[in-house]
Amino acid sequence: MPPDALLDIRDLRSGYGGKPVLAGLNIRVRPGEIVAIIGRNGVGKTTLMKTLMGLLPTTGGEIAFKGQSLNPLPPHARARLGLGYVPQGREVFGRMSVTENLETGLSICGGRAPAGRMDEIHGYFPILQERARQRAGTLSGGQQQQLAIGRVLMGAPAMVFLDEPSEGIQPNIVQDIARLMVRLNAEKGLSVLFVEQNIDMIRAMAQRCYVMDKGRITAELGPDDIRDRAEMRRHLAV
Ligand SMILES: Nc1ncnc2c1ncn2[C@@H]1O[C@H](COP(=O)(O)OP(=O)(O)OP(=O)(O)O)[C@@H](O)[C@H]1O
């Protein structure tokens, strides 16, 4: 692995049963980077996230994180190494309170947060303190997304994977969440790999982008490309 890579994905393959989806994919994320994966529906973006977390088996290639191979590790061991995952649709526990949801994020540090962790999360997401006792299922989509992100941050990950964080969220809240991720990146050095189709969220968050098609990376975009709306639209409609 090159010395500057936090996450190094080489020739990654996976799929469902006998059906291949990821067809030899290469991605590299450096420490402190925010990188987007873009591409139209069905190209395998969610499959990539699940494979990175160990929720789907790898059928070929290598995933290395902090210089260590993740391939043999189950999901909880990957989380313990410092990976957080916010799935598409957020998957908060609807009948549990906001605080109880946050506490479930502690399981990777033995169920007990270092002093001040909850306060820190509340500092980034004041709504989670205001709604502490409310059932998570009654929150708006944007609030649930903040809760899902807050929950993974309880485990103090070095890197988070976000699967379509803008989905079903109104535009002003999308911008708030993007700004928060940029702040977490700047203040805590949090690295982020996120799947997204919302051009405004990509532009507000991503330092680099990979374009995905049919289970492969077909292009890599830098800051100038990301600022170019027409260029981004072209890639999002691949
Ligand atoms: N559980 C599953 N079993 C079998 N095939 C699946 C399963 N989940 C997804 N697929 C298939 O794998 C391919 C990639 O799906 P995936 O959800 O990874 O794409 P995506 O790029 O995330 O799309 P979207 O933007 O719609 O979420 C699709 O052809 C999809 O039908």
pLDDT score, position 234: 83
Number of the ligand 1 atom closest to the C-alpha atom of 212: 21
pLDDT score, position 89: 79
- Spatial separation of the C-alpha atoms in residues 182 and 34, rounded to whole Å: 8
pLDDT score, position 35: 97
pLDDT tens per residue across span 110-132: 666 677 888 999 999 999 999 99
The mean per-residue pLDDT over the stretch 208-233 comes to 90
Protein residue with least CA distance to atom 3, ligand 1 = 16
Distance (Å) from CA 180 to ligand 1 centroid: 29
Pairing of strands 34-38, 83-86: unpaired
The mean per-residue pLDDT over the stretch 75-98 comes to 91
**Is residue 14 in contact with ligand 1, taking CB distance under 6 Å?**
no
- Spatial separation of the C-alpha atoms in residues 31 and 29, rounded to whole Å: 7
Say yes or no: 221 and 147 in one domain.
no
Distance (Å) from CA 223 to ligand 1 centroid: 28
Say yes or no: 212 and 121 in one domain.
no
Cβ contacts of 172 within 8 Å, gap of 6 or more? none
Say yes or no: 95 and 21 in one domain.
no
Distance (Å) from CA 170 to ligand 1 centroid: 25
Q: How many domains does the chain have?
A: 2
Q: Which residues are bridge partners to 193 per DSSP?
A: 35, 161
- Spatial separation of the C-alpha atoms in residues 24 and 121, rounded to whole Å: 37
Q: Domain range for residue 110?
A: 91-156
Distance (Å) from CA 186 to ligand 1 centroid: 33
Query: Which CATH number belongs to the domain containing residue 185 in this structure?
Result: 3.40.50.300
pLDDT tens per residue across span 127-183: 999 999 999 999 999 999 999 999 999 999 999 999 999 998 988 899 999 999 999
Number of the ligand 1 atom closest to the C-alpha atom of 195: 22
Residue by residue, DSSP assigns 36-97 as: EEE--TTSSHHHHHHHHHTSS-EEEEEEEETTEE-TT--HHHHHHTTEEEE-TT----TTSB
pLDDT interval class at 1 (50, 70, 90): very low
Ligand 1, residues 12, 13, 19, 21: which to mutate, most atoms within 8 A of Cβ?
21
The ipTM, to two decimals, is 0.94
**Is residue 51 in contact with ligand 1, taking CB distance under 6 Å?**
no
Say yes or no: 74 and 186 in one domain.
yes
